Structure 1
Amino acid sequence: MLDCHEDTLVILAKNIAVEMHYHHAIQLVLSLDKPYDAVLDHQPIESVKGFLIDSDIPHACQSADSTVLVISVDASSSKGRLLKSHLLKRTFILIDELFSAEAIDEFLNFYWRCCDTSQHEFDPLYFLHKLSHEQRNITPFDARLLIAIDFINQDISQIIKVIDIARHISLSESRLRHLFTEQVGIPLTKYVLWVRMKVALREMLKPGVTLSDAAHQAGFTDHAHFTRTFRRMFGVSPSLLLKYGQFLQIFGL
């Protein structure tokens, strides 16, 4: 299952191992059955139940025997910045430190009840909602960056030049690059790639759309460029993710 609410991408993956990868999103990961082994920021950790990891931090999961819920939140969104505040300047934190054992067990029991009956609707964003309800002091972005982000998202299928974005918000290229990296946390060009990837995911779900079509609509130079970027961001090929997805849907892109 792959689902996206605005800046939130949700994947329910069964029996899949992902290679070392990193991406713009801040990620909350939880096993719904068996613990799994992971490498988080180059640190091997055995029998992981779940974790919260910052954007652009390398990680891999050997969850070939597990059902894993993966929630990826755009780091430049308000929800992403709130999640980042829970890391307390660490690169990752295990889920046991975020939630009580009782809260995790309650969530897992409800998930499996939803699998056995149609009487309840499973909310994959349960833990994200719990964290979002906590009051945190989040420093707002520079207003010009919000305009730049909106400009990038207007038509991602086209070639996007830094100079055009800079002119749009009346900044020099160097100042824009510095400000974007300082406040968003990744270089501007990496953010553009992330937006292209979100659009490609949306296109992949449309009937009759090939991976090459999706790559073209999102502005990737070719199918090979798209596949390389996808594997770097998700640790698997796009075809493998589709193969192991039970239900795929994206909202708000």
Structure 2
Amino acid sequence: MIKQLSTPFMLALKARNLTVEIHHHSAYQMVLSNDAPFTSTINGKLCEQIHGFIIKPQVKHHCVAEKGTLNVVNVEPYSTVGLELASRLQSNQDFLVFNSPSETSSFFHLEKETFNIYTIINALLSKIPTLDYDERVSQIIEYIHANYANQGITPQTFAEIVFLSPSRLAALFKEQTGSSLSKYLLWTRLRHAILLTLSDKERNLTDIAYATGFYDQSQFNKYMYEMFGMPPKALKLNSDLIQIY
């Protein structure tokens, strides 16, 4: 049996007065100005007074936006949205800079210039096909959504649910979703942690880490830094949630 699901794997945040250190992460990242232009250094190249950029995974970069607001969207590279972004960049193109709103609109095939991140996200989501997943993959996805906070999850846990060997299940899951099981689990934990961090700003970060399946705040900090170039505390102080997909 098959079940229809879609997997955008996308985190969208709005950051104010953003300054992050040089970092890189495993996701595609879109950074788009909500108002004023900003400065970034990407792969050692200084880009001043720009309105946005898209970078491939593992590309070193940092941002300085002392005025205005930036929309930051991180996309799992092997998700349907990630593959759509990859198709729009040349194979030897590590990043793309938008020097004006019109360049942004042109890239996303919008009818008019816009600073509206929702319009851009919807343009990407409109390209997502409905995916027909093997019922066993659907079972694992549903299990992860319900049990992501359980620190005891192992490859054997998943294998026992669907009566496959860990290696066979890993291959099937990667074939159908483009993501490894471990990355999907991490992405699910991280998005729930970010949701709690930004929706309940009085809540202790250590408590959030434990509540979403991380071993401690240190591990939560590590993955947040890899994804956004800043620890959860800085994200909490300078960001608002747009949407988690």
- Are 2:200 and 1:206 aligned? yes
Residue 148 of structure 2 aligns with which residue? 156
- Are 2:166 and 1:173 aligned? yes
Superposition map of 1:116-127 within 5 A: 123-127=116-120
Distance 1:105 1:59 in 2: 31
User: Retained in 2: the 8 A contact 1:203–1:217?
Assistant: no
User: Retained in 2: the 8 A contact 1:180–1:186?
Assistant: yes
Residue 62 of structure 1 aligns with which residue? 63
Distance 1:95 1:184 in 2: 30
SS of 2:20 mapped into structure 1: strand
Distance 2:162 2:88 in 1: 31
Q: Deviations over 1:159-178 (max 9, x none)?
A: 21111112323332122333
Which of 221, 230, 233 is equivalent to 1:227? Answer: 221
User: Retained in 2: the 8 A contact 1:23–1:194?
Assistant: no
1:107 CA drift (Å): 1.3
- Are 2:234 and 1:240 aligned? yes
Moved more, 98-107 or 29-38: 98-107
SS of 1:13 mapped into structure 2: strand
Residue 195 of structure 1 aligns with which residue? 188
Q: Deviations over 1:91-139 (max 9, x none)?
A: 544447663399698314xxxxxxxxxxxxxx431112234445x7x69
Q: TM-score, normalised by structure 1?
A: 0.72
- Are 2:99 and 1:107 aligned? no
Distance 1:139 1:88 in 2: 25
Fraction of identical pairs, as percent: 28
Q: Deviations over 1:141-161 (max 9, x none)?
A: 652433322221111110211
Which of 49, 61, 78 is equivalent to 2:51? Answer: 49
Q: TM-score, normalised by structure 2?
A: 0.74
Distance 1:88 1:49 in 2: 20
Distance 2:78 2:146 in 1: 16
- In the superposition, relative to structure 1, how do residues 148 and 125 fare at CA in structure 2: closer, same or farther (>3 Å)? same
User: Retained in 1: the 8 A contact 2:201–2:236?
Assistant: no
- In the superposition, relative to structure 1, how do residues 147 and 228 fare at CA in structure 2: closer, same or farther (>3 Å)? same
SS of 1:239 mapped into structure 2: helix
SS of 2:163 mapped into structure 1: coil
Give the gaps of 5 or more residues in structure 1: 1-5, 109-122
SS of 1:106 mapped into structure 2: coil
SS of 1:152 mapped into structure 2: helix
SS of 2:113 mapped into structure 1: helix
1:86 CA drift (Å): 3.1
Aligned length: 226
- In the superposition, relative to structure 1, how do residues 92 and 186 fare at CA in structure 2: closer, same or farther (>3 Å)? farther
Give the gaps of 5 or more residues in structure 2: 1-7
